[in-house]
Amino acid sequence: MKLLSVTLLVTPVHYNIDMSFTYIEVKDKELLNRVFAFRYKIISQTKAYESYYKETTFQNNMESDKYDKYSIHFAVLNENNDVCASVRLIHNSAIGYPTENDMTFDNTKFEREKLGELSRIFINQKCRNPKATKELIHNLNKLIYIKMMKLKIEYTYGALEPNFLRLLKIFKMPYEILGERQNQGKMGLRYPCILYTKKLAKENQQFI
């Protein structure tokens, strides 16, 4: 898979929200490539992505797709400066969004300039205990919410597996299901979902 070029700044923006992790909006190519390598590692080791992994050609053990150049990338670094979580916010995409391009549901009520999509929400296996996962998702949510407000994004798509959808709701990401469970390309069975920015803020009053 060809690595897409991304417009990048020299210095990353750091958000030191706690003592254990550093939350970053990715602004440099070296870190972005490390995020792609992290995504590859998660996909190659996760059974849910087995079909996607087997049917996709990767370059340099990095995972990237056509939506990455329309994305704002976020990463979480641990105390050893290793990527331990990542997520991307696709916005203003000239090629549409993965959920609407690969799934069937009514998308007529969403205005294009107010729309985005959150995807590639990955967490290192070592951090997948309830306490660490809650902390990571909460602080990433805060970072993403600030960006969505700045960009005036009112709703974001998500293609979510049932178990992950339940987990995100527990951690105060109130996604709503838009259609039937269906295949999202090579990524397997998922629900097309939407997350309203106002409802995210309502669930997380400390963001406001």
Question: Could you report the per-residue pLDDT of 68-118, keeping only the tens digit for each?
Answer: 999 999 999 999 999 999 999 999 999 999 999 999 999 999 999 999 999
| 7 in a structural domain | no
The tally of domains found in the chain comes to: 1
Which residues on neighbouring strands pair with residue 114, listed in sequence order? none
The CA distance from 105 to 88, in Å, is: 22
| Alpha helices (H) in 27-129, listed in sequence order | 29-45, 50-54, 98-102
**Lookup: tokens for 53:** 């992994």
| 144 in a structural domain | yes
| 5 in a structural domain | no
What sign for the dihedral angle of Cα 112, 161, 17, 76?
negative
The CA distance from 140 to 25, in Å, is: 10
| CATH number of the domain where residue 141 is located | 3.40.630.30
Distances (CA, A) of 46 to 86, 112, 203: 15, 33, 30
| 6 in a structural domain | no
Model pLDDT for residues 129-164, shown as the tens digit of each residue: 888 899 999 999 999 999 999 999 999 999 999 999
State the residue range of the domain holding 47: 13-207
Chain position carrying tokens 């700044």: 9
Least confident of 1-10, 28-37, 65-74: 1-10
| 8 in a structural domain | no
* pLDDT at position 207: 82
* pLDDT at position 179: 97
Chain position carrying tokens 């979902």: 193
Residue 61 CB-density burial (10 A; 0-12 exposed, 13-18 middle, 19+ buried):
exposed
| 1 in a structural domain | no
Residue 14 phi, psi (nearest 5): -100, 140
